[in-house]
Structure 1
Amino acid sequence: MVQPASTVLQTSAADIELVHVSKQYGDALAVDAIDLRIPGGAYCCLLGPSGCGKTSTLRMIAGHESVSDGDILIGGRNVTREEPASRGTAMVFQSYALFPHLSALDNVAFSLKMRGVAKEARRKRAGELLELVAMSAYAARKPAQLSGGQQQRVALARALLNQPRCLLLDEPLSALDPFLRVQMRAELKRWQKELGITFVHVTHSQEEAMALADLVVVMSHGHVEQSGTPHEVFNRPRTEFVARFLGGHNVLGANGRLFTVRADHLRIAPHGVTPVQASSGEGGVSRFGGVACTVREAEYQGTHLRMTLDPLDGSPELVSVLRDADYDPQRFGPDARVTVWWDEQDAHPLAA
């Protein structure tokens, strides 16, 4: 039976604060004077494309990269110049970095061995942590005899051995197949809630960040573009970059301003059915649009179809979501002419 996390990991969460933190590699500025506060006990995902600075930020928090400028505080203590071992953090690497010649149990217990802890005591402690991550049955196996998900569990147990206040994860799910990735995602969220410690998780997957995080931090070119709850960031993207990177949004322009309309809020009808502006008849809400388009493709996704539309005026493509039950290949199939519109209340303005 898996032990309650509270009996295995007696520690407390710590908040993390980055104050004007920069990281420079030669002439390249990887992280540019960012300010960020991660509350204690939160699950934070640093989200962005390759090269945006998210992994450098994580490694600076861990102490595996030096800070070029600024300060890092963990639990209110300035750790900017401290060694990784004294920060109260632990890191799970993308490759898991398990010792191939050691069993799962000895991999978890390794740091206690290096500190001179007696064999029986260190194996007892490692066994408790393997039980926490449901790996007791595989304690004697070496990494090559474990699946990717099992190796990740061992790496997590090893990271928890020293009772960290913050757990740092560098794209921990990227090497897993899609089915296992979803399964392990649920496990990570459960462990974080049970352990009650701060998780900081680097990912380039929007779906992963939305599913896991209490706090999503979207990064681009070394800057924080936006931070907030998944609901806030997805429904009210601050910039065009955030809207486009998260996906599911259409970026439109009118009167010199940009705004977004979510794909599931963009309506489509056969060409000529909907005027440029008409009352929807629902509480006086106005509908806008009247954009004439050609259907480029209709991608079946089970419950719905993802419609990619090319405006006839040459403006950027639009994306709409249509329920499977409403899809008519004669009216909405490839090369069909359609008109798109949206409700005024569904248009979200972007920062200049």
Structure 2
Amino acid sequence: MNKRILAGFALLGALALTATGCAGTAEPGADGDGDGPIKVGFAQTGSESGWRSANTESMKTAFSAENGFDLVFNAADNDPAAQIAAVRDFINQGVDAIVIAPIVTDGWDDVLQEAKDAGIPVVLEDRTVSASDDLFASWVGLDFKKEGVTAGEWAAEQYGDTATKMVVLEGTTGSAPANDRAEGFDEAIAGTQIEKIDSQTGEFTRDGGKKVMEGFLGKYGVDGIDLVYAHNDDMALGAIEAIEAAGAKPGEDIKIISIDAVKDGMLALIDGKINYIVECNPLLGELAAGIVKDVLDDKTVEKTYFVTDQSFTPEQAAEVIDSRLY
């Protein structure tokens, strides 16, 4: 599969393609037939985190009526069956295109084939699927494994030479970011003295992260945990609440590494309660909308569009916090 590498988001959230020959953009309102707005069904995962809320806002803004779209939005509350049902409803409505942020990677073959049979192109956003890549037109998002590698490399550099007991707050079981962030991190810490003593899903939610961390603390005690690796900021923020309730200091007594770099996470980083954050930029709407228009105009698009992430220490976060949009 050919891969187009995208330049990183500027701090104000602008997107820039680094490769030459990138696909053009149709005029607003062009749906391939010139008959009016482009009707797009967007199947979102839910509203489980600050990242997801920012992603939803970015998509709704990009797929607005002002930009030539008629958006049909559905958030499945992290229920894979409900999300697939929503996509089938989009097909029955005869939308021009479908955009999906898949909750999990598996189980998409049948409904994607139904969309293809109906002549409705599908663009994947944020997360990936295990289905054949001839069932969707393109994907745009982040390199989740690289995010995990970046987080793990920093952990290895900071703590790898000392016996370190780590617990992991996993994302939604079976989701691409949870799978890839775990794999990347594990690869990066291989051969170090960081030992993963427990790992459990917090479903990418703050409440889930708090409950799982409470369980870890009850099982191992504050002195039995040196490091928390959270697959997203919301779970890290929940872990902070649990650690503080246990009478310990997050970021000092128990170190925390997280992924996302949403506003609340960055503020906790600046306050020293999180030690390191790898970015996962949610502002994918503008690029996704451009891809949809290009597909409907029969323009050539790449199968994969990666957006480059940044990473932050507390000092680096303090320098950029006032200019960030999420």
Q: With structure 2 as the length reference, what TM-score do the two structures score?
A: 0.31
Higher strand share: 1
Higher helix share: 2
